Structure 1
Amino acid sequence: MRMVDDSLVTDTPDGPALLGSRCSDCAACTFPRQAGCPRCTGASMVDTPLARRGSLWTFTIQGFRPKEPYTGPEEFEPFAVGYVELPGQLLVETRLTESDPEALEIGMPMHVELVPFRTADDGAPVHTFAFAPDREVRA
């Protein structure tokens, strides 16, 4: 599967997960990966798959085309963006698969998915990550 950026996601036995960094000195997590720790300024960062599930911390609807370097489709459609809290790790700024504000609730369980983002020049789909409501947990 072609991704917008291969360094953002990794495969796990449970499915795709975001690939972040964890500081070996203070245990702070970052996403995306980085070489230095923003908490303790240490340089002992190790790649770590982040939790696949979290809870919606906040959200809004993106009603206009983002500025460059946005590479999405020319024909813009509004979409939801939010912060998802991954337990014991961090908040991730993310696209949401659900864009109806009436269907989203702060605190609702979410899970990461890979979703189509745009079509490459050669016609192949290019995917990115997004968080989706975890309806099975809500029911």
Structure 2
Amino acid sequence: MEGALTAVPGADPARGTLLPAAEGSAPLVARPADTASTEALPSAGPLTGAVSGRELRGSRCARCAVTVYPADTACPRCGGPAVPVVLSGAGTLWTWTVQRYAPKSPPYEAPGEGFQPFAVGYVELPEGVRILAVLHGMSPEDLRIGIPVTITAGDGVPRARPAGPAGVTT
């Protein structure tokens, strides 16, 4: 994903209207591209959302309080204005897997020693957002859903590491 979506799937961005969702669900919000906010967010990469060092930059809706990552100027749920926020750097491992094959090239560039399998997972933050991250310092045998981790912005994709007592990175 190279950035936040400008419209919720199933919505008609050309009309900018509320469209009915599946039975029993709330309507979906479409936000036309020509009316989207042009307010620039603080320097944040499209994949990392990084600011000052390794913090993660997200946004929170001023209307419905939904938090998203990476940051966007509008809420994907209600279309309301969103304000930039720095997300907490500690969370829990929500799910994980091992990447056993090399990603497509480009943009992936294999290191000199060749591709090595690595673990990736979703980290759930206290704000309620889940972020895909490369899992460092953890072997597949040590990975368990629910373990505490710290997460920081990385080159291209955030990085998560095991957290020690009281959330201290090990």
Asked whether the two chains share a fold, i.e. TM above 0.5, the reply is: yes
User: Is residue 2:73 matched to residue 1:35?
Assistant: yes
**Percent identity at matched positions?**
36
Q: Map 1:74-89 to 2 at 5 A.
A: 74=111, 75-89=114-128
Matched with 1:47 is 84
Summarize the Cα distance change of 1:5–1:23 in structure 2 as closer, same or farther, 3 Å threshold. closer
**2:110 maps to amino acid:** P
Which residue is equivalent to 1:8? 49
Whose radius of gyration is greater, 1 or 2?
Answer: 2
Consecutive unaligned residues of structure 1, counting only runs of 5 or more, are 116-125
Give the equivalent residue in structure 2 for 1:119: none
One of 114, 129, 133 as aligned partner of 2:158: 129
> How high is the TM-score relative to the length of structure 2?
0.61
CA distance in structure 2 between the aligned counterparts of 1:60 and 1:71, rounded to whole angstroms = 19
TM-score, normalised relative to structure 1: 0.73
- Counterpart secondary structure, 1:102: coil
**2:139 aligned partner, one-letter code:** D
Structure 2: how far apart are the matches of 1:7 and 1:101? 24
Are residues 7 and 84 of structure 1, via their aligned partners in 2, closer, same or farther at CA, if it must alter by over 3 Å? closer
Post-superposition, which runs of at least 4 consecutive aligned residues in structure 1 deviate over 6 A? Answer: none
Structure 1 pair 69–93 and aligned structure 2 pair: CA distance change class (3 A): farther
Q: Which runs of no fewer than 5 residues in structure 2 stay unpaired?
A: 1-44
The alignment status of 1:26 with 2:67, answered yes or no, reads no
The alignment of Structure 1 onto Structure 2 pairs a total of residues equal to 123
Bigger RCO (CA 8 Å, 6+ sep): 1
Q: CA RMSD in A?
A: 2.8
Shift of residue 52 of structure 1? Answer: 0.4
Tell me, in whole angstroms, the C-alpha distance in 2 between the residues paired with 1:21 and 1:73: 33
| Equivalent-residue separation in structure 2 for 1:108 and 1:7 (angstroms) | 23
Quote the offset at 1:37 in angstroms. 1.0
Q: 1:50 to 1:8 in 2, by over 3 A?
A: same
| CA 110–7 in structure 1, closer or farther in 2 if over 3 Å, else same | closer
Aligned partners of 2:77 and 2:105: how far apart in 1? 29
